[in-house]
Structure 1
Amino acid sequence: MQTILITGTSSGYGLETARYFLARGWNVIATMRTPDADLLPRSPRLCILPLDVTSEESIVAAVEAAGPVDALVNNAGIGVVGAFEATPMAHIRKVFDTNTFGVMAMCQAVIPQMRERRSGVIVNVTSSVTLAAMPLAAAYTASKQAIEGFTGSLAHELGHFGIRAKLVEPGYGPTTRFAQNSGVRIEDLIPPAYADFADPIFASFANPALTTTPGDVAEVVWMSVHDTSDRLRFPAGEDAVALHRSRFG
């Protein structure tokens, strides 16, 4: 019986991925900043742990409590939508602390045990903005692009030890808490000079032609965890698949 540790399971992609793996017989370590036992079905194969990926102390405690894991899914993330010039550097650093440095710290925490066993898989969840940059999300895009390059390098570095590194690239999911955890309101980051540019973009966000569901992402995470080839990128959702096809053929 295999064990998976998933970050950011309080909602959206992470929560659905935890449910997906649990339903298919895996041991699931579901982590979130504030544990809520009512979010997931009761199971002896489920362990819910507190985890703040921006805290080294929290990471160490969670990984020690989890014990050996066969798969790590770095899903926790936050976003900031707005004009870059109006986005305080404090908020930009907060995005990178979670989306980039938090992912790297989690990888460092589990790689030693996987290296010793010479097996394991790390799945880093990024975004379709790495396939086609989205306006009014420069900091978020940069934080996810960094993880794309990081994971590609990691795949080469860890393959020598039998560890696989994968990317899951979800498309646009309007039901996710994209910017709720950033601590900043979108309206504060759109100066009047940007209104004519931003209004049609936000209108398109409200009525997207294609969307990605949590179920789409959970299914693709499952696929990536079980993929033993050298494939790195796994788009999730029709919109992400279309973008991936237009970029890579």
Structure 2
Amino acid sequence: MSAKVWLVGAGPGDPELLTLKAVRALGEAEVVLIDDLVNHALLEHCPRARVVHVGKRGGCRSTPQDFIHRLMLRYSRQGKCVVRLKGGDPCIFGRGGEEAQWLRARGVAVELVNGITAGLAGATRCDIPLTLRGVARGVTLVTAHTQDDSSLNWQALAQSGTTLVIYMGVAKLADIREQLLKGGLAAKTPVAMIENASLPEQRECRCTLEAMHDAALHFQLQSPAILVIGKVAAAANIEDAPENLLVQLA
């Protein structure tokens, strides 16, 4: 595993959700570049590695991406096994794709290791199935934060018929609500706002789309949090028969 960069998904926070492949990569690592939201309990799997903190978090001072690129390149060219440890999954809003491309263009061997993404883990912890036969035919993962501040096609999202899972949306709740209502999504559409997905301090707030912004203020919702928008967000628990849930949500 020497002279290689592993882009590893650390999962949403619960240490038990780490994959066996991720544990193996950490055990062989000589250098670990760790993101800000990664649970530090995972570092027990890499006792011999040098740990470098390269925090990146919305609204806070962050390590420049170019600096992270060059750190990975430098250590790999020293013949070291490097793990870039990212929250969630490296290829779901984690810049894993662009980091892999940048390194491979410079002759560095790269392997991506999946992690469980917060949208899935948080919803499951709340007994919300993101897809459910007869209720939700699919799921769409989007981020409300874009590098160039461009707007999503909210009308298409509102009319997709899928469960919407929105990352990095806490600061834009009022705009998300307005755009989805304008796009045709029903005001009474169920919403679950989930803070600190999978961690012991996870909190959830259930409401409707029209009440989402006011409910978040009352709940004092804070980042990191994900939004689950769609009929499945009203599920009491995953053990409900699909037929009963469909009647309940109709």
* Structure whose CA Rg is larger: 2
Task: Give the TM bin, normalised by the shorter chain.
Answer: 0.3 to 0.5
Q: Normalized against structure 2, the TM-score is what?
A: 0.38
Higher helix share: 1
